[in-house]
Amino acid sequence: MKFVIIGGGPAGVEAATHAARMGAEVVLIERDIVGGAANLWDCIPSKAMISTGAVLALTKRAEKMGLMPITAQIDLDSLKSRVSSITGRLAASKMALLKSQGVTIINGVGRMVSPTRIQVEAEDGIREIESDAVLLSTGSRPRIPDWAVVDGQRILSTRDAYPPPVIPEHLIVVGSGVTGVEFVHMFRSFGSKVSLIVSRQQVLPAKDPEVAAALEADFLESGVKLYKGARAIGLKQDVDGVSIECDDQRVISGSHVLFAIGSIPNSDSLGLDAAGVYVDRSGHIPVDHHCVTNLRNIYAAGDISGKLPLASVASMQGRKVAEHALGLDSRTHRHLDYEKAASAIFTEPEIADVGLAEAEAFALGRKIRVTKVPFAANARALIDGDSRGFVKIVSDPATGVVLGGSIVGHNAAELISVIALAVTAHLKVNDIVESVMVHPALAEALADAAE
């Protein structure tokens, strides 16, 4: 079975290694970086920068931890090499894994020329490959408004900011989705003044309002300016900085601007017309629950599939695609349930959630039991000097089955795994209550919330 994959991000790499392990002859075509451009040029560098900011924030809390004051300053060159060494190591380990599984990696640009033929443009020329099954996993790139030209100096896309040439004195972030709020947090922790343009009345419009409110309160307390109900529609630049014009006539001036207004799927120039693959108006390729497109032998996974755009989801889709392409889906195969994917927002405090949200349950008219415990009384939170936030667990009042949960607070991204496992395995709140947790640990708040 010959399996050709265009795009070597989390979706493509996982599909490739999994299919090769199961005996397929796999060819992976990647034009930029094995490991994925959205993953290694956005997701990972943003988390690396946030982690550096967290250490900086920790030094500011030194006195509260019983230490003499500590001062730390950003070293842009060393920060840059830190980020590239992390992404370099991840890319190298993915390459090594693929090679060890016998995957043929082609560094080039792939496009479909028919439902079964793929053209590859590489440095050594153009060639065509015939395939039994094809995976389109070409990811996405940052969206830039048509009224702005990114210069990588003062006008930045996310990919210009790991780190930018200088730490902005006053950064204007346009867009208050997950990316926007992570950038607000990143640059406030580096000492920049930050203004956030929020097109709706709440940051993180898709999240639980209580969670969003906790983050907004923290932003405001640290001096972040929120411009709510404002849509950016224009940009002016002069020698000192930039001004963003909003549709409500407000003009926000700063030293730099960063666009965090979502992503565009990399489906143009993929030869979808030639192959007869259906693409929707947003450029995503619709798929069924096996990630099959409108053509039986062509799959789409990752950001291009228009499902939940997370690296974790892309990898799981890749795994499911490999199983289906090799005919193994009928064995102990579980469909990917997007509703049960855990996700986190790496702000401070961190925000993480999984499964059914309280607001969503109310909107559906579904009876739920919600239990909530703050970290304020948790011994580990007090020891670590950060007792902000809470754990909220949503369960079925009749059966006690855990349906979802959200956590705001230190290490929320790690802690949510317990609730994610409970949701996937249909565990009951009592299963959490009766697990003997480590003491003193933040996880004890999970057992308290489940009580």
Ligand X SMILES: NC(=O)c1ccc[n+]([C@@H]2O[C@H](COP(=O)([O-])OP(=O)(O)OC[C@H]3O[C@@H](n4cnc5c(N)ncnc54)[C@H](O)[C@@H]3O)[C@@H](O)[C@H]2O)c1
Ligand Y SMILES: Cc1cc2nc3c(=O)[nH]c(=O)nc-3n(C[C@H](O)[C@H](O)[C@H](O)COP(=O)(O)OP(=O)(O)OC[C@H]3O[C@@H](n4cnc5c(N)ncnc54)[C@H](O)[C@@H]3O)c2cc1C
| Catalytic center residues | 439
Say if strands 343-345 and 251-254 run parallel, antiparallel, or are unpaired.
unpaired
Nearer to ligand Y, 116 or 158 (CB): 158
Angle of helix 10-21 relative to helix 311-325, nearest 10 degrees, comes to 30
Separation of alpha carbons 225 and 10, rounded Å = 35
Say if strands 242-246 and 232-237 run parallel, antiparallel, or are unpaired.
antiparallel
Tell me the closest approach of the beta carbon of residue 20 to ligand Y, in angstroms. Answer: 17
Radius of gyration (C-alpha) of the chain in whole angstroms: 23
Dihedral, CA of residue 388, residue 192, residue 45 and residue 200, to nearest 10:
70
Separation of alpha carbons 289 and 434, rounded Å = 35
Nearer to ligand Y, 158 or 395 (CB): 158
Residues 85-114 that bind ligand Y (CB under 6 A): 109-111
Q: Which of 25, 32, 210, 396 binds ligand Y (CB under 6 A)?
A: 32
> Is residue 202 a contact point for ligand Y (CB under 6 A)?
no
Region from 74-82, 268-276, 344-352, 391-399 binding ligand X, contact rule CB under 6 A: 344-352
Query: Cα separations (Å) of 365 from 337, 358, 360, 362?
Result: 21, 11, 9, 5
CA 176 to chain centroid, in Å, comes to 14
> Is residue 162 a contact point for ligand X (CB under 6 A)?
no
Which runs of consecutive H residues, i.e. helices, occur in 281-357? 311-325
Region from 39-47, 192-200, 280-288, 382-390 binding ligand Y, contact rule CB under 6 A: 39-47
Count of Cβ atoms closer than 10 Å to residue 201 Cβ: 9
Q: Which of 52, 116, 195, 199 binds ligand X (CB under 6 A)?
A: 199
In the 8-state DSSP scheme, what is residue 9? S
Query: Cα separations (Å) of 366 from 207, 211, 363?
Result: 18, 20, 8
Q: Which of 33, 83, 194, 298 binds ligand Y (CB under 6 A)?
A: 33
Q: Which of 4, 5, 24, 30 binds ligand Y (CB under 6 A)?
A: 30
Nearer to ligand Y, 10 or 349 (CB): 10
Query: Side chain identity at 349, as an amino acid letter?
Result: P
The binding track of 311-330 with respect to ligand Y, each residue x by CB under 6 A or -, is: xx-x----------------
Query: Side chain identity at 187, as an amino acid letter?
Result: F
Q: Which of 302, 306, 349, 389 binds ligand Y (CB under 6 A)?
A: 302
Q: How many residues are given for the chain?
A: 451
Q: Binding residue per annotation — 191?
A: no
Give which of 396, 400, 388 is closest to 433, Cα–Cα: 400
39 binds, among ligand Y, ligand X, none (CB under 5 to 8 A by kind): ligand Y
The binding track of 45-84 with respect to ligand Y, each residue x by CB under 6 A or -, is: -xx-------------------------------------
Q: Binding residue per annotation — 384?
A: no
> Is residue 39 a contact point for ligand Y (CB under 6 A)?
yes
Angle at 191 between CA 186 and CA 195, to 5 degrees: 70
Nearer to ligand Y, 161 or 235 (CB): 161
Q: Binding residue per annotation — 181?
A: yes
Tell me the closest approach of the beta carbon of residue 123 to ligand Y, in angstroms. Answer: 13
Nearer to ligand Y, 120 or 418 (CB): 120
> Is residue 137 a contact point for ligand Y (CB under 6 A)?
yes
Give me the residue label for tokens 């950064």. 171
Which runs of consecutive H residues, i.e. helices, occur in 326-443? 358-364, 379-383, 412-424, 429-433
- The annotation places the binding site for NAD(+) at 175-182, 262
* Footprint on this chain of ligand X (rule: CB under 6 A): 145, 174-180, 182, 197, 199, 205, 231-232, 260-263, 308-310, 343-346
* Footprint on this chain of ligand Y (rule: CB under 6 A): 6-12, 29-33, 36-39, 42-43, 46-47, 109-111, 137-139, 158, 179, 263, 266, 270, 302-304, 309-312, 314
- The annotation places the binding site at 47, 110, 138-140, 175-182, 262, 303
